[in-house]
Amino acid sequence: MGSGKKIKFALFEVLQFAALCVPVFIIMQRFASVVEQIKSNAEARTAYWLIVASSIAYVMTVTLVIWVPMKYMIVKKRKFLTENKKWRPVTLAYVVLSTLPCFAFLIASSEVQINSNVTLDRFTELPVSLVLFSLICVDIIDRLRKCRLTGQVHANENDQDIHLPGPVLTHMEQVATVSGQVDADGGNGEPNTRLEANGSVPGMLGNQERQYSISGMSSRTTSTVYHNSPNAPSGPLKFLCNNDMRAELFVDSFMYWFDTIEMVRVAGDPQVYYSGWVIPIYIFSYISLLRLVLKPKNPALSSLGVFLQDIPFLFIRIALIAIFGYVTPLLYLLKNLLVFLAFIYFNFMTKLKMFNTERMF
């Protein structure tokens, strides 16, 4: 490895390890403070330091037993970790080793305060701003690892986890018509065109160099195609058309979790936090995070998004609005409802006989 690759590797490893440790340390320290304030006796300080020491021991244990061996096997290019195209072992380890204990202590803090009939700490910003931000950073680093951080990304460097936004027109040339080839008989009524063994006409659609293809998994990026098209803008505002998939990766990673972020934010509302509703909120929010384990191009990702996030969140938001009022915006409720209905209609109902026709709409 060159010096640049070594620096990039070390930076990514330090950031991922910090994202693993920092949320656990901070949340368990805040939980220890809550326990210390509730006890208010000679054992309070002892309980505080026991919880803090437990967090240090936990992080050291999972680091030495799971995290470091896993990273070592990835560096040594073990096939079951590096060549798997369906799941991401690093993000799975982070979700289990860091996010799960953080959410567990957030639930425990709520239950301890409810049972003690006190309102000390609602952990308002920690789950949204710290835990989920660390999760997003791990996701970005894992997807950005195969990219160069300097220079421009070329067409042959995009076969990775950066998901293209949609269909891309990769190549287009004029295609000769069948009649123009078959009817070129010189006026004697007999076509001069000879069919190949596979039934195709020479120089026609069988020629791959004279076709155009539309594919969402194309090796060309949207920016490359757009800038090569004759309609690409020019002039002083040309810089506004810059489009690098590495920059879009950051936007995509944050927008991917906005629904979960809003759901966890609701748990910080005082009337929700001290009512016991934090338990289903954090449980189903954690379940929705499990989608991160799959590769971005996995075909099962869309279905899991509906079944692990939109359907549970839909019923939780209906219950929260019915009990507490508009503690969560209706926009997210409508989003969950429309995504669920669209998934059912376009994937199942359109296959029925009454909808499987081109005469309607």
**Model confidence over 108-148: pLDDT tens digits?**
999 999 988 888 888 888 888 899 999 999 989 988 887 77
Query: Could you count the other beta carbons within 10 Å of the beta carbon of residue 94?
Result: 26
pTM for the complete prediction?
0.74
Domain assignment present for 237: no
Split into its structural domains, the chain has a count of 1
Domain enclosing residue 319, as ranges: 3-150+248-351
Rounded to whole angstroms, how far apart are CA atoms 177 and 32?
Answer: 76
Rounded to whole angstroms, how far apart are CA atoms 86 and 194?
Answer: 46
Q: Are 113 and 119 in contact (CB under 8 A)?
A: yes
Domain assignment present for 192: no
Domain assignment present for 236: no
Rounded to whole angstroms, how far apart are CA atoms 361 and 193?
Answer: 42
Which positions of the chain have pLDDT values less than 70? 1-2, 78-85, 151, 153-235, 237, 239, 357-361
Long-range contacts of 78-86 (CB under 8 A, 24+ apart): 85/295, 86/294, 86/295, 86/298
Query: What pLDDT score was predicted for residue 350?
Result: 81
Domain assignment present for 325: yes
Domain assignment present for 91: yes
Q: What is the pLDDT of residues 43-89, one digit of tens each?
A: 788 889 999 999 999 999 999 999 999 888 888 776 666 566 678 88
Rounded to whole angstroms, how far apart are CA atoms 72 and 90?
Answer: 12
Q: Supply angle C-alpha 45, 46, 51, rounded to 5.
A: 100
Domain assignment present for 25: yes
Domain assignment present for 230: no
Rounded to whole angstroms, how far apart are CA atoms 81 and 74?
Answer: 6
Domain assignment present for 223: no
